[in-house]
Amino acid sequence: MDNRTTFPEAAFPTAKRRLAPTTSPSSLCCGESVALSSEDVDIVVMVQHHEISLNSCQKVFVERDFRDGIGIRFKTDLPDGIRGLITESAYTSTIDNINTLFAEVEEVGTQSAAETFVSCATCYLNRFFAQSRYEKQLARIQAYIAEQNRLTFIPAGIVMTDPMQRGMRVLELSLLATGGPPAPSTTRPDRRIEEV
């Protein structure tokens, strides 16, 4: 499955002024659009002819909120590291929506009970042919985070990483202004944001 989302060049008015030019010979050129991939290797953000490795960016971590139990929920307080880059209302709204989506994932209902029964009865072979309700909900969360990156966070110079890539422990925010070009890799190729 391809996890790339296309972003128009106009979505980066703040970030593109802060980026250093690329010096890597393996740079990908990008004209009018870029795509954000969310794989577990080095993610590279490209804006025009500049690229930034998310591994080299300063990180701000939003911890889980355990006040209401062990369900997946993140703190809604605006971290000091991004204060001034994004409005508190936009940040709080995004985190509240993510928390609501995770609450929907964890709900136990007749559909999830029926899926569990059918899975047990078929020795989980049905999972090869159809996505579970849980997988569909996680895909909705990934799509929502990609949309919020495109509309809110990347224009402010921030990239929100899907919490599923961090084991649901934290919500990672990468500050694009602090990143640099990716180092040449000889062992593993980078996941790059490339022209779509």
Per-residue pLDDT, 7 = 42
The overall average pLDDT reported for the chain is 74
User: Helix, strand or coil for residue 164?
Assistant: helix
Residue 136 burial (CB count, 10 A):
11
Mean pLDDT across 151-165: 91
CB 183 within 8 A of CB 78: no
Neighbouring CB atoms inside 10 A of 4's CB total 17
Interval 15-58: pLDDT, tens: 433 333 333 322 222 333 344 444 444 566 555 456 777 888 88
Sequence-distant (≥ 6) Cβ neighbours of residue 58 within 8 angstroms: 81, 174, 175, 178, 179
Would you place residue 68 in the very low, low, confident or very high pLDDT band (cuts 50, 70, 90)? confident
Contacts of 168 (CB under 8 A, 6+ apart): 64, 72
Query: What is the pLDDT at residue 182?
Result: 66
Q: What is the mean pLDDT of residues 100-113?
A: 89
- In this predicted structure, the answer to whether residue 63 has a pLDDT above a threshold of 60 is yes
Say whether 130 sits in a helix, a strand or coil.
coil
Residue with tokens 């919020």: 148
Query: Helix 133-148 and helix 110-121: axis angle, to 10°?
Result: 120
Least confident of 35-44, 97-106, 123-132, 148-157: 35-44
Cα(183)–Cα(30) distance, integer angstroms:
19
pTM: 0.67
Structure tokens at 15: 């970030």
